[in-house]
Amino acid sequence: MNLEIPYKYTEVIDLALDTIEKDKQALIFVNTKSSSEAQAERISKKNKKTNQALDILADEILNILSSPTKQCKRLSECVRKGIAFHHSGLNSKQRELIEDNFRNGLIKIICCTPTLAAGLDLPAYRTIIKDLKRFTRRGMQFIPVLEYLQMAGRAGRPKYDKIGEAICIATSEKQKEEILEMYIKGKPEKIFSKLSAEPVLRTYVLSLISTGLVNSKKQLFEFFSKTFFAHQYGDIQKMESLLLKVVDLLKNWNFINVEENSNSMFQSADSLNEENKYVATLLGKRISELYLDPYTANKLIEGLQKEQEKNDFSYLHLISNTLEMMPLLSIRKSDYEKLEEKLSLNEDYILDTDLFFDDHYYLLSTIKTAFFFEQWINEMTEDRIFEKFNVRPGEIKFKIDVADWLLFSCYELSKVLMLKSNLNVLTKLRLRLKYGVKEELMSLVKIELIGKVRARKLFDSGIKNIKDLKNIGLETLKSIVGEKTAINIKKKIQMG
């Protein structure tokens, strides 16, 4: 760790310290999670002001998880000095604590990613926008003016301050001019319709047909011609051919039927015929209710229908290979060997065999993502996961939620398609995923008040299910999970 602070950082630190000196608060926007952590750390090391309330808060933050992660420790040490970092990788309780204690004035500075710019109402006297560039596929690019406005708009607290300050940090004289032109004098960019993204378009077309709002080509065109999407797209003919392409896909996947209209003079079952009727199939309806992108749904179905032998990894990999799971975990140099090994070990269990002939890097990313889920359901701790996979607690939660939704979708699709062999495995997997436990803990974890940590402790002490819990003496239980919890658990079991 380098304690010497390079010149270019000092102005942000000075601004932060000046804010504290004035007894005001500031938000500092940076472009990455680790940048927000490093920035908060630098400021906290320079800030001398602490107090008892901050100590209490710092301890609370440290002990939110059963075993504190590196991130918890780092955040806790910053908060001890009244400084915090805030991004999507934080545990949700920690995030809430930071927000609440910024509102009540205890925390003076938050270094954050753009999470805080939109949605959350957290005004500050001063907003410092340190990074106006962000990494994209085309390298470092200036962020949109709209985003800049969101961030700058956090400055000034209506009830407390008459003014607010939004400060941009330029890295050079040239950039200073660019920022002035683009953000201060510039206009916000136009808004674009989200429908232009194909997955969204597919989902909407299916949902329109499925709910019966649209049931012919004519109605479909009519509906879309009134949307903002059409207004922006301009070329109506091109849009119509795009829509027909989607309809054909849905038909090929058996999510909708195109039925002939018996009154029509020209009978043909294709989707082009003006008068043919679009009707969602049972499968299509379910997919629409699940909010699944039809493309993903089709992929899942193809996998679920495979008759080859499946294991847990098969399903975890199936859901990792979807648009919804993007972005997949990225691969480090040191990962390759392990991932290749994992791949060859599970080659026979992978359901989407097309992957073997495609982009190998992508294949390995799907393997790594599935591997991450597999480690999670085998009780790898959050700290270890951060270390091994570089996924922070808040991101684990997010990925798990997506996975659970997709597994549930797999379950529902299997039900509609009468693929009964998948059902039990999927239910089991979902439960294990939810708690992050091995199969042996499943019956314990189902009991209220018992999560992954307590379940593991109990199991290792020979208590393996609810019957064991009933039979065990209160004193013994106390020695395992602590006094209060033991009493509460006993109460719960007797009631249930």
Partner DNA sequence: GGACGGTGAAACTTCAGGTTGCCTC
Partner DNA sequence: GAAGTTTCACCGTCC
38 near DNA, rule: CB under 7 A: yes
Options 390, 461, 485, 488; binder of DNA; rule CB under 7 A = 390
Quick one: 61 or 350, whose CB is closer to DNA?
61
Quick one: 19 or 36, whose CB is closer to DNA?
36
101-110 burial string, b = 16+ CB within 10 Å, else e? Answer: bbeeebbbbb
Give me the 99-138 binding string for DNA, x by CB under 7 A, dash otherwise. --------------xxx--xx-------------xxx---
Helix (H, G, I), strand (E, B) or coil at 86: strand
Helix residue spans in 321-392 (DSSP H): 336-346, 360-376, 382-389
487 near DNA, rule: CB under 7 A: no
Options 22, 176, 194, 446; binder of DNA; rule CB under 7 A = 446
Quick one: 6 or 158, whose CB is closer to DNA?
6
Contact window for DNA (CB under 7 A) among 188-196, 257-265, 424-432, 456-464: 424-432
Cis amide linkage into residue 327, ω under 30° from 0:
yes
> What is the DSSP annotation of 358-374?
S-HHHHHHHHHHHHHHH
Beta 26-29 vs 83-86: how paired, if at all? unpaired
- Residues whose CB falls within 8 Å of the CB of residue 65, separated by 6 or more in sequence, listed in order: 72, 91, 382, 393
34 near DNA, rule: CB under 7 A: yes
39 near DNA, rule: CB under 7 A: yes
Integer Cα distance of 456 and 258 in angstroms:
54
Options 65, 242, 279, 331; binder of DNA; rule CB under 7 A = 331
33 near DNA, rule: CB under 7 A: yes
312 near DNA, rule: CB under 7 A: no
383 near DNA, rule: CB under 7 A: no
Phi, psi dihedrals of residue 235, rounded to the nearest 5°: -75, 100
174 near DNA, rule: CB under 7 A: no
- Residues whose CB falls within 8 Å of the CB of residue 175, separated by 6 or more in sequence, listed in order: none
Quick one: 175 or 261, whose CB is closer to DNA?
175
Of 181, 147, 161, 152, nearest to 22 by C-alpha is: 161
DSSP 181: I
150 near DNA, rule: CB under 7 A: no
Q: Which residues bind DNA (CB under 7 A)?
A: 1-4, 8, 30-35, 37-39, 87-89, 113-115, 118-119, 133-135, 139-140, 147, 171, 289-291, 324, 327, 330-334, 390, 395, 398, 401-402, 404-405, 407-408, 427, 430-431, 446
